[in-house]
Structure 1
Amino acid sequence: MDSTAWIIITLIVLFVLGQFAFLYRSKGMQGRIAPDMSDLLSEAQKAQPRLIFYFHSPRCGMCRQVAPILKPLMEEHFNIIEVDVSKRPDVARRFKVMGTPTLMRVQEGRIEKVLMGAKDEKTIRDFVEAQ
């Protein structure tokens, strides 16, 4: 094989390893104490035992796929907090969000579950409505 083929193979391997790193990191956040989020919440939301954080970006193609699914859910469930990472990068850093879209379920101050990337409606609805 020539050097161009090795470069292409190396880039593909690095890309795949990067994807696994994102997934590994999101799984590692589960069970950890959530960062301070008082500046993001209304008084009614602070009283909720479970909160869903939706991290997105207006330039993200996958976010545009997820938005039509989440908008009606946000009207039904006022415990979903929408965070535009282009306007609030500090919040994304605080939560260690590596990419968008990311849904993060916080139960009684702990990160219970993280869902990254575009998902189908059933998966998103199950994530939001899980007991």
Structure 2
Amino acid sequence: MNFLMVAAVAVGGFIALLFAFQLFMVFKMRRKEGKPAPSLDGKPGKLIEKGNRAVFYFYSPSCGACKAMTPVFRKMARTKKNVFPVDISTDMATARKFGVMATPTVIVVNNKTIEKVLIGPQPQATLQSLA
């Protein structure tokens, strides 16, 4: 009986720790809103430098929540020139510049400033309204 109570408290503490870590990540990423966007190379960098709107979708092929969002963003990237899917398994440098700590993460840049940060799965209507 005593062992079960200790195990239950340990599991509960672990779950609370995971929840607190997730809240910390969300809080830290949200603090980036209103801050200057990092300088990037290529087409995304040129859009940002001109002060145009750019939408970055950070994902990982092994991320379960990303599997529903990735096709939506790939389709958006084909039709809109300001949408950039970023696979963090192949482009960790861009993720580091933005300070991405979890996937999926969507970052909207406008007027050289990080306008919005969305962490976790988002409804398709929300995603389509960003670009």
State TM-score, norm by structure 1: 0.87
Relative to structure 1, the CA distance from residue 110 to residue 85 in structure 2 (aligned partners, 3 Å threshold; closer, same or farther) is: same
CA–CA distance in structure 2, aligned partners of residues 9 and 41 of structure 1: 47
Using the TM superposition, give the Cα deviation of residue 41 of structure 1 relative to its aligned residue in structure 2, in angstroms.
2.0
C-alpha RMSD over aligned residues: 1.9
- Which of these residues, 88, 109, 113, is aligned with residue 116 of structure 2? 113
Residue matched to 1:75: 78
- Which of these residues, 2, 23, 26, is aligned with residue 26 of structure 2? 23
Residue matched to 2:128: 125
Structure 1 stretches (4+) deviating beyond 3 angstroms?
42-48
Tell me, yes or no, if the aligned pair for 2:73 and 2:85 is still in contact at 8 Å. Answer: no
- Which of these residues, 67, 87, 99, is aligned with residue 90 of structure 2? 87
CA–CA distance in structure 2, aligned partners of residues 88 and 44 of structure 1: 18
Gaps of 5+ in 1: none
Tell me, yes or no, if the aligned pair for 1:56 and 1:83 is still in contact at 8 Å. Answer: yes
CA–CA distance in structure 2, aligned partners of residues 32 and 65 of structure 1: 29
Count of residue correspondences: 127
Tell me, yes or no, if the aligned pair for 2:74 and 2:85 is still in contact at 8 Å. Answer: no
CA–CA distance in structure 1, aligned partners of residues 72 and 86 of structure 2: 16
* 1:12 lines up with 2:8 in the alignment: no
CA–CA distance in structure 2, aligned partners of residues 31 and 102 of structure 1: 17
State TM-score, norm by structure 2: 0.87
Relative to structure 1, the CA distance from residue 48 to residue 35 in structure 2 (aligned partners, 3 Å threshold; closer, same or farther) is: closer
- Which of these residues, 63, 70, 76, is aligned with residue 66 of structure 2? 63
- Identical aligned residues as a percent: 30
Tell me, yes or no, if the aligned pair for 1:48 and 1:79 is still in contact at 8 Å. Answer: no
